[in-house]
Chains A and B, each alone.
Chain A
Amino acid sequence: MERTAVGMPLDLDWVRAVRINRSAVERRADTLPKRRTVKKEWQLGWLLRAVTLMDLTTLQGDDTADRVRRLCAKALRPIRDDLLEALGFAERPVRVTAVCVYHAFVETAVRALEGSGVRVAAVSTGFPAGLSPLAQRIAEIEASVAAGATEIDIVISRPLVLAGDWTGLYDEVRAFRAAAGEAHLKTILATGELGTLRDVYRASLVCMMAGADFIKTSTGKEPVNATLPVGLVMVRAIRAYRERTGQMVGLKPAGGIRKAKEALDWMAMMKEELGDEYLRPERFRFGASSLLTDIERQLEFHVTGRYSAAHRHALG
């Protein structure tokens, strides 16, 4: 998976000119899932694709090495073989794109996934609040990269956004970018703590200018996590940035996406607003832990014609 985003010099005029109408954005976000739906084979195809767009995640205080190994095993076999066979995917591996863990478990995950192509992402920079000393945050990125993480999910300093210190934010993310080396950098905006959609857009722009490969909604720890209006605003920032620079930055909604239907809504938004080329792991990821179970249940329902139960699918 090659990196394509390189960033650009900070353009403060662009950042300051941003206008977002919250009511109109919410209206679009509300109607989009009603304008687009996929049924039958298409729904199954889309749900399987959703699995391949997943950063299967565990970020709990009580995570242990065994817990992470269990998750990695699920990442490698997210869907029961009999279901895949019934769906015509016996010959085609369906795997999640990455496993997302704290730094402490990067090595565990790297070993568990070795040779599979499933990547290891580490949350970093004082996740989730992002308020530890800058040098420490940078060191954390370097440590995770050294431990084998190929994706680094950093959190931005919300105080910089709330203070309107775009230069400060740009410089900080730029430093994170440098520290991550060739690893993909996902910048978590923690949108639930930014207050306005306009600041979500502006923070998105600044992170992209600083060289982010992905912009990501949330840590999963804020009171409000990935919502469609927030996603829509970020998608529009991604689109505007592509139009201006030609660079294609990805989106990762994380936190709160638990239902197969919600996953389809997000994918519909990506296809509708950005195009088919954004329904690929290079440009779109779900950060999720329980979403997979619901997708498995939906797939089994289509295969058997009977509504499924969670315990019929292996735990991650």
Chain B
Amino acid sequence: MTSVKDAFDSKAWGPAPESAGPAYDWLDRHGRRFGHFIAGELTQAGPDTLITTNPATGVQLAVVTQGTAADIDGAVRAARAAQPGWQSLGGAGRARHLYAIARQVQKQSRLLAVLESLDNGKPIRESRDIDIPLVARHFYHHAGWASLMETELAHMAPLGVVGQIIPWNFPLLMLAWKIAPALAMGNTVVLKPAEYTPLTALLFAEMCAEAGLPPGVVNIVTGDGRTGDALVRHEDVDKIAFTGSTEVGRAIRVATAGCGKKLSLELGGISPFIVFDDADLDSVVDGVVDAIWFNQGQVCCAGSRILVQEPVAEALYAKLRARMETLRVGDPLDKSIDIGAIVAPVQLERIRALVAEGVKDGAAMWQPSWRCPTEGLFYPPTLFAGVAPASTIAQVEIFGPVVVAMTFRTPAEAVELANNTRYGLAASVWTENVNTALDVAPQIKAGTVWVNCTNVFDAASGFGGYRESGFGREGGKEGLWEYVKAVPAKVSGAIAAAPTATSSPAEAGSIDRTYKLYIGRKQARPDSEYSLPIVNAAGVPVALVAQGSRKDIRNAVEAARAAVGWGRATSHLRAQVLYYIGENLSVRRAEFARGIAALTGVTAATARREVDQSVERLFCYAAWADKFDGQVHATPFRNITFAMNEPLGVVGVVAPEVPSLLGFLSVVAPVVAMGNAVVAVPSERWPLAALDLAQIFDTSDVPAGVVNIVTGKRAELAPVLAGHDDVDAMWSFGSAAESAEVERLSAGNLKRTWVSDGEPRDWVRSGAGPEFLRQATQVKNIWVPYGA
């Protein structure tokens, strides 16, 4: 035993263990065997089991059940049965339950923290000071949203039963991020925890029962990917919310395509950590520790890519190396440990393999001089300096305590390097210059940008990705939209039904019109050089339109990509352009109405009304262009967290077939108003009104490439747009088959989709509104701590 004298002389830290006793007692009370939590009961362990171990020691903690499709079915049934009652409790009633859960989490906080660290390997400091307090905070915050739902989300209804699949890196925190908003909005859930880390979810389930949560509102089914797959494919699940790898997220996107399930994905990233030469470098070092040596680097938004301005690169590396020497790796239950255990052998192997690859690529690897523990799954903090963007370790998610660093010369180059990735989850920007910070933050393609801080989270702020880091937000008001749907307006039959032929054929004597594609503000001949005949409602051919093909889509997307500067135009300018389009359409009102009537066979009065409504719609989005404000979130520390509604970039829209003008403008105008460039496929049957609009766009100061129109067969064009890797989002208002195809093909770059599932929409009464704006934007949260 160490004497006080030895301790006095050595000045060493010594061990500071947190007792695992209470957590072991809890496991023992359950015989270290667990079933699922279904309909308010912990079930008996099933025949198929999984073993969960402590990654720091390799010692088995418990046996849990491998959930079967039947288990999932039972859980979904329980959730379905409980949902109407849960919803009808009302916001105030649900708030009481969520509040009770929050209190329960606080009362049991140390047990939860210890169990989390045992199962996952994360340092007790982190589970105790970060994970569990954030869990409680998430339930408190969403208890509030339950109370406020009826007023703040008026006309919104719960989705029903939500399937949720969470990862092993923040087991209980991810559970909270999933369950709290779902329950607040009146949904019931079936949640599958990660196979490596199921224990805190089971303890949480027990706490829900103790807190009096009605049976079936929360159901937990443990198991591996097969269990998750059964949940994803279950027909009676209304939404899947997934956090995990991009690879699995992609598979879920494909699996759920066309089945009408709502989907949100929070996936991987290799988030940039940008250091300007005027940053407080000592604080930057603390930032790097929080960025990549938090949770052993097993953080989806870990700042794993340091981009440092050349003049300070060597100074930063030196400071980092010095700090790495004092980091402590070891027993996660030791209170003085910075880096705990890697969750599983396969993850440790992956880290080792990628580091070896980095070394092979010639990057300079540096690790501290002390010896990393060899018993248990540990990996030392590792720095690769001077890494080229082309090397593997700069491109793939290592998901370990390994950071790569490279230099940049100018702010523009920093942005370019930061965005040189398929991912877009988070970024961190370090500078003492507010101009630099606020210039760079909006330019980075990421859902969260932390200025002079990193890896800070709060329930009041939305978290989620751009690009292949997924879509949907968790936290804040923006996160609630993932768990509600609009109470549908009744669809009037007249809109969906094909109009009857009553009017006369095209006016005799008019000059034959040439309809081309509209790409980059030019009338473009189709690449195929084929045309499609357009037949009016009376069956008379009236025109030929260009038959667009995949190459035309390619060209249109290129033109749109070149026009994304539209998103940086002032909101006032965008409003002016939209007003101007409306004004110019209004001038040609009679002509458009005549055309619509002649083509579609509606009465002259109906056609005039459609044109008037179209003008109104343009005015509506001209009005919105400078009013769809972001928000400043009330996150609980000294900072400004502002949620910006940013354009998506290039949006593909496949317009509804009817009404051909109003439907087209209803989907194009909001997309353009929010600063996106659009590639639009108009009504296949009646595309002439949309093509006539091209002239109006030309005379209304719409910049080249902001609106592109490709006519042709939607069954050919929609899949090309949906599959295009440079299209950021896709709307489709066509058949159920088209929706399914769009969702399936969107998996390539995980573009966000908004599809009609073949449901008709009343474009007059339900063809505009905030949902269109939300679908045309993505929320970026920028955190700016301040202090003189």
Q: Which residues of A contact B (CB under 8 A)?
A: 19-28, 31, 34-42, 44-46, 48-49, 87-89, 92, 195-196, 236, 271-272, 276, 279
Contact = CB atoms under 8 A, between A and B. Distances in A.
Among A45, A89, A92, A276, chain B packs the most CB atoms within 10 A around the CB of A45
A31 B5 CA distance: 28
Contacts of A92: 5
B14 A23 contact: no
B278 A23 contact: no
Contact of A41 (B14, B279, B338, B452): B14
Contacts of B336: 35-38
Interface in B277-325: 278-283, 286-287
A26 B1 contact: no
A40 B287 contact: no
Interface in B387-433: 432
Contacts of B129: 31, 34
Place the interface of chain B in its size category.
35 or more
Contacts of B16: 37-39, 42
Contact of A27 (B10, B279, B282, B453): B453
Contact of B11 (A31, A41, A271): A271
Contacts of A36: 13, 336
A181 B749 CA distance: 72
Contact of A42 (B2, B17, B281, B786): B2
A89 B452 contact: no
Give 5 nearest A-B pairs by CB, closest first: A45-B7, A42-B14, A22-B787, A24-B283, A23-B785
5 contacts: A21-B279, A24-B452, A38-B7, A41-B4, A42-B13
Contact of A21 (B7, B9, B326, B432): B432
Contacts of A44: 4, 7-8
B14 A21 contact: no
A45 B12 CA distance: 9
Given A19-B279, A92-B5, 20 more contacts: A19-B281, A19-B432, A23-B453, A23-B638, A23-B639, A23-B785, A23-B787, A24-B453, A28-B286, A34-B125, A34-B129, A38-B13, A39-B14, A41-B1, A41-B4, A41-B7, A41-B14, A42-B13, A42-B15, A272-B326
Given A24-B785, A88-B5, A39 B15 contact: yes
Contacts of A196: 788
Given A27-B286, A38-B16, A88 B278 contact: no
Contacts of B234: none
Contact of B14 (A27, A28, A38, A48): A38
A41 B13 contact: no
Nearest to B322: A239
A278 to B, nearest CB: 10
B6 interface: yes
A191 B13 CA distance: 30
Nearest to A23: B785
Given A34-B129, A39-B15, A42-B13, A21 B335 contact: no
A279 B11 contact: yes
B3 interface: yes
Contacts of A35: 125, 336, 338
Contacts, number: 104
Most buried by A among B1, B7, B785, B786: B7
Contacts of B6: 41, 45
Q: Which of B12, B282, B639 has the most CB of A within 10 A?
A: B282
Contact of A19 (B9, B15, B278, B639): B278
Given A23-B639, A37-B336, A87 B287 contact: no
Contacts of A38: 7, 13-14, 16, 336
A46 B788 CA distance: 35
A89 B8 CA distance: 10
A48 B5 CA distance: 9
B8 A45 contact: yes
Contacts of B8: 44-46, 48-49, 89
Contacts of A28: 283, 286
A271 to B, nearest CB: 6
Interface in B127-172: 129
A23 B788 CA distance: 9
Interface string B605-642: 00000000000000000000000000000000011000
B788 A22 contact: yes
A23 B450 CA distance: 12
A196 B335 CA distance: 32
Contacts of B786: 23
Contacts of A41: 1-4, 6-7, 14
Given A37-B336, A38-B14, A276-B11, A45 B787 contact: no
Nearest to A45: B7
B705 to A, nearest CB: 41
Contacts of A34: 125, 129
A92 B283 CA distance: 41
Interface string B228-266: 000000000000000000000000000000000000000
B787 A26 contact: yes
A39 B7 CA distance: 10
Nearest to A32: B286
B287 A24 contact: yes
Interface in B434-453: 452-453
Given A37-B16, A37-B335, A38-B16, A236 B282 contact: yes
A95 to B, nearest CB: 14
A19 B280 contact: yes
A37 to B, nearest CB: 5
Interface in B309-355: 326, 335-336, 338
Contacts of A39: 14-17, 335
B194 to A, nearest CB: 26
Contacts of A40: 14
A40 B10 CA distance: 14
A195 B788 CA distance: 9
Contact of A25 (B283, B326, B335, B788): B283
A36 B327 CA distance: 11
A269 B453 CA distance: 20
| Interface hub of B278, B286, B338, B639 (most chain A Cβ within 10 A) | B286
Contacts of B7: 38, 41-42, 44-46
A240 to B, nearest CB: 8
B13 A48 contact: no
A44 B4 CA distance: 6
A23 to B, nearest CB: 4
B452 A21 contact: yes
A20 B129 CA distance: 25
A49 B1 CA distance: 19
Contacts of B14: 38-42
A28 B281 CA distance: 13
Interface string B572-586: 000000000000000
Contacts of A27: 286, 453
Contacts of B787: 21-23, 26
A313 to B, nearest CB: 18
A102 to B, nearest CB: 32
Interface string B11-39: 11111110000000000000000000000
A295 B38 CA distance: 53
B11 to A, nearest CB: 5
A48 B9 CA distance: 10
